[in-house]
Structure 1
């Protein structure tokens, strides 16, 4: 059985859509999202988040999200296809438009998923940049999830020039920090915060 929490047209800004599972986060930046990846359309380098790139800069795109119980077949109609791994950081994963304007709950469990992001019409949409309300649809996308163990991201199909550009951009990014490096950075940030709070407390005491 296939669950489709999103199906229709979504309004994009700056060619970006996100999946977020941390309610206190506004998502990763571009370099973080694609760090160490071979594909540049679905950035999954930051735990609990996905950065999804569209050909259209501004306007409505066709967009469907599917949740499967196992890997679905890859349809031949899709021109550009990438896969990555994703594990939600909470039970509240959502598809989120730029700046958090609108979101849709995805109903994902806190487990490991494989993600397949399929695209069609990216070059035409990229060349036009903006789609007005009365104009026909230029590009459309399919985002699929199914349970699977973590694995490296892959480019399964590349047709458009704009996808090739973003793949090249991703491959130039440095690898993401290891779990140990991330934990050390968080520890240093906590220490700095504690020190700043202690210094404020001392300053308040001297001012009394």
Structure 2
């Protein structure tokens, strides 16, 4: 498996959120229901054309974030992650970049649409969201691993949902979230 990584101990989150966004996000698409779909769905992540929103436990402050641009589906990490979810998103512009809340891009993380315009699968793995709840500051207590690879659209897959946010919002008896087509 080939992949490139980027890591930051100072990934800034506000309102518990960070994003992947494409060039046509906001001009062609909006995400008025993305956060609602997170709470009504897998508790961690939701996306649509040109965007993805991830929900951290840390309201305002920094988390440790590692990203991977993968050529194909990565193995599930052997590290203990409390919540692990895969979702599908569509890049219509051929660009997907990492953004902090408020619109600041993390240029060093690169373009996640490595195969150009098309469908991608995103795996978000999180631990420490419980510790992050109510935590504010520059010392991260929460960690995420975000992996992206080209793949046909599929329903959301929840591999694990073992933190308080997941136990509160994720209901395994509900149908999985479906990819949103442009």
**Which interval holds the TM-score relative to the shorter structure?**
0.7 to 0.9
Using the TM superposition, name which of 68-77 and 51-60 deviates more: 68-77
Q: Which has more strand, going by share of residues?
A: 2
Match of 1:86 among 64, 77, 89: 89
Q: Work out whether 1:117 is the aligned partner of 2:118.
A: no
- 1:141-180 aligned at under 5 Å gives the runs 141-167=144-170
Report the number of matched residues: 169
Structure 1 pair 89–37 and aligned structure 2 pair: CA distance change class (3 A)? farther
Asked whether the 8 Å contact 1:33–1:50 carries over to 2, the reply is no
Q: Work out whether 1:97 is the aligned partner of 2:96.
A: no
Partner SS state of residue 84, structure 2: strand
Runs of 4+ in 1 over 6 A off after TM superposition: none
Task: Tell me the TM-score normalized by structure 1.
Answer: 0.71
Q: Which has more helix, going by share of residues?
A: 1
Q: Take 1:118 and 1:35, find their aligned partners in 2: how far apart are those partners?
A: 14
Deviations 1:124-179 (A, max 9, x none): 111x331x23x4x21010111112111101211011011233435xx69xx88x86
Task: Tell me the TM-score normalized by structure 2.
Answer: 0.80
Q: Take 1:79 and 1:3, find their aligned partners in 2: how far apart are those partners?
A: 24
Could you list the runs of 5+ residues in structure 1 that have no partner in the other structure?
183-208
1:120 Cα deviation (Å)?
0.7
Larger radius of gyration: 1
Could you list the runs of 5+ residues in structure 2 that have no partner in the other structure?
none
